């Protein structure tokens, strides 16, 4: 394994363009990084990350005897920043670290693009020079040890709830983005076998609810009774505790299932435009829909997932979940999961005013002339976040909406989430109307 390095940043700067042009920069940096890591952890070893990812593999994966591993992505080409970020986002590694091109090497272009596309919760960062310049070796090893030790310690703390989440998502068939039966279970039947593209939004309590299973369903039934449902508020009819709860459209037909209540559109499982809301007696809430409000197709059959409506529905459903938690006395923390099924080769639409939609010829002009690849390469997409449901403020867009928007947009190689109003930064109001 090579331990080659430059003696100074000036030496690296002089050779930087040539190394990029000759495509030697990434292999050189990966080899040098592996050498530094094995100096710190002699029993650990580098090898390719397991499993194919939609856009390729990470630049380096480093495995430890404990079973943990770290992945590193080298950001050196401006046009590759979305793909490189996607690699880190999709990795299951306990430690994920970005290696960014120094400001002095490219006038800060990579840094600016990285933080523009990952403004929230960026991955730990090292400069490329910290890997390749010998005089920085001691400091770099200290940083690597700190980053990786911290990540592994945090992983131990959250392993219990991640195991719980994984087991519940597995039961809902949402545990593997690549599986052909992704999202197909008894709660999504009627959509899964009729439509290849649909959306699932699931909320799973972080901790076991203290309310009895019978009382959970009783509270859900009472909350969603049509004569008690809050379609709108008036001066004489105060709104419920959680604002989005007032505008979520509840399917009208209710029936019982094993340990659950299901509300369905009357035509669920028969015609286009079906939605189902499921509340399980463990206070898990699932919404599934193939409605044209969330996914549609162009005249040539190209599939289009509609971003702002999906995010608006996620926000509105979170109000239902928050109200349920309030009514059963649950603290309110939940795993919120948005899954988009059948995304391969689809495009993203449903934007705020000012952005071209896939139905607009100008959109395709940009695709062809600027050679934009705005298709999704993954068969399915899944994004999860831990949300404090009871902490949401009425009529104030919660932070998780922004996080989901950024992650989904990244999967479609968009520079920015196009679902927010350019002036306010909010989802346009008409997407929040029922």
Task: Judge whether 377 and 54 are in contact, CB under 8 Å.
Answer: yes
The helix or strand, by DSSP H or E, that contains position 132, with its residue range, turns out to be helix 128-132
Task: Judge whether 77 and 64 are in contact, CB under 8 Å.
Answer: no
Q: Which of 243, 283, 285 is nearest to 392 (CA)?
A: 243
**Burial (CB count within 10 angstroms: exposed 0-12, middle 13-18, buried 19+), residue 311:** buried
**Dihedral sign from CA coordinates of 53, 54, 57, 62:** negative
**Burial (CB count within 10 angstroms: exposed 0-12, middle 13-18, buried 19+), residue 69:** buried
DSSP string, 270-307: TSSS-EEEEEETTS-EEEEE--TTTEEE-TT--EEEEH
> CA-based angle 362:363:366, to the nearest 5?
85
Task: Judge whether 202 and 172 are in contact, CB under 8 Å.
Answer: yes
- In sequence order, the 6+-apart residues with CB closer than 8 A to the CB of 299 are none
| Predicted local confidence at residue 358, as pLDDT | 92
The SS3 assignment for 215 reads helix
Record the tokens describing residue 345, joined without a space.
């080769």
| Predicted local confidence at residue 1, as pLDDT | 45
What is the rounded CA–CA span in Å between residue 268 and residue 389? 29
What is the rounded CA–CA span in Å between residue 350 and residue 305? 7
Task: Judge whether 110 and 101 are in contact, CB under 8 Å.
Answer: yes
DSSP string, 29-43: HHHHHHHHHHHH-TT
- Tell me how far the alpha carbon of residue 58 is from its chain's centroid: 18
| Predicted local confidence at residue 163, as pLDDT | 75
CA of 15: how far to CAs of 4, 25, 214, 257, 318, in Å? 14, 10, 69, 66, 52
Strand partners, 341: 198, 380
Tell me whether strands 60-63 and 69-75 are parallel, antiparallel or unpaired.
antiparallel
| Predicted local confidence at residue 274, as pLDDT | 82
Helix orientation angle between 213-223 and 307-328, rounded to the nearest 10 degrees: 120
Record the tokens describing residue 372, joined without a space.
């934009």
> Which pairs count as long-range contacts for 76-84, CB under 8 Å and 24+ apart, including other chains?
76/20, 76/25, 76/26, 76/29, 76/101, 76/110, 76/128, 77/20, 78/106, 78/109, 78/110, 78/113, 81/110, 81/113, 81/114, 81/117, 82/117, 82/410, 82/413, 82/414, 82/415, 83/55, 83/56, 83/413
Mean pLDDT by 10 residues, the chain (434 residues): 75 92 91 93 80 58 89 91 84 89 93 84 90 93 93 70 80 86 86 81 90 93 76 55 82 90 78 80 94 90 95 94 90 91 94 90 80 87 89 80 92 90 87 75
What is the rounded CA–CA span in Å between residue 37 and residue 137? 11
Residue 328 has φ and ψ, to the nearest 5°, of -100, 0
| Predicted local confidence at residue 178, as pLDDT | 83
What is the rounded CA–CA span in Å between residue 86 and residue 236? 50
Tell me whether strands 333-341 and 380-388 are parallel, antiparallel or unpaired.
antiparallel
């Amino acid at each position: 394994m090579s331990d080659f390095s430059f003696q100074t940043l000036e030496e690296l700067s002089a050779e930087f363009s040539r190394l990029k042009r000759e495509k030697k920069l990434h292999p050189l940096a990966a080899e040098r990084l592996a050498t530094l890591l094995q100096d710190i952890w002699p029993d650990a070893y580098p090898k390719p990350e397991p499993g194919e990812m939609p856009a390729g593999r990470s630049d380096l994966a480093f495995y430890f005897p404990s079973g943990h591993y770290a992945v590193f992505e080298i950001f050196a080409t401006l046009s590759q920043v979305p793909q490189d970020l996607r690699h880190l986002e999709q990795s299951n590694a306990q430690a994920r670290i970005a290696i960014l091109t120094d400001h002095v090497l490219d006038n800060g272009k990579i840094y600016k693009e990285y933080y523009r596309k990952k403004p929230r919760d960026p991955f730990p960062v090292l400069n490329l020079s910290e890997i390749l310049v010998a005089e920085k070796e001691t400091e770099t090893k200290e940083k690597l040890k700190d980053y990786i030790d911290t990540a592994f310690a945090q992983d131990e703390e959250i392993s219990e709830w991640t195991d719980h989440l994984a087991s519940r998502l597995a039961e809902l068939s949402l545990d593997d983005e690549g599986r052909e039966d992704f999202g197909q279970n008894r709660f999504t039947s009627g959509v899964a076998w009729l439509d290849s593209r649909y959306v699932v939004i699931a909320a799973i309590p972080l901790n076991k609810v203290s309310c009895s299973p019978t009382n959970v369903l009783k509270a859900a039934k009472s909350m969603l009774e049509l004569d008690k449902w809050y379609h709108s508020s008036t001066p004489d009819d105060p709104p419920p505790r959680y604002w989005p709860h007032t505008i979520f459209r509840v399917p009208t037909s209710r029936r019982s299932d094993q340990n659950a209540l299901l509300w369905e559109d009357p035509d669920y499982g028969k015609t286009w435009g079906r939605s189902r809301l499921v509340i399980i007696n463990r206070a898990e809430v699932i919404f599934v829909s193939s409605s044209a409000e969330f996914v549609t197709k162009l005249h040539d059959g190209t599939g289009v997932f509609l971003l702002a409506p999906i995010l608006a529905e996620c926000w509105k459903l979170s109000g239902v979940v928050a109200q349920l938690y309030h009514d059963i006395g649950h603290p309110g923390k939940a795993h919120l999961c948005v899954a988009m099924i059948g995304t391969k080769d689809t495009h993203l639409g449903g934007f705020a005013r000012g952005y071209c939609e896939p139905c607009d010829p100008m959109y395709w002009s940009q695709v062809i002339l600027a050679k934009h690849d705005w298709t999704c390469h993954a068969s399915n997409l899944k994004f999860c976040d831990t949300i404090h449901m009871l902490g949401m403020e009425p009529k104030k867009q919660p932070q998780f909406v922004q996080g989901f928007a950024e992650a989904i947009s990244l999967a479609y190689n968009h520079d920015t989430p196009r679902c927010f109003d350019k002036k306010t930064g909010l989802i346009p109001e008409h997407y929040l109307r029922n």
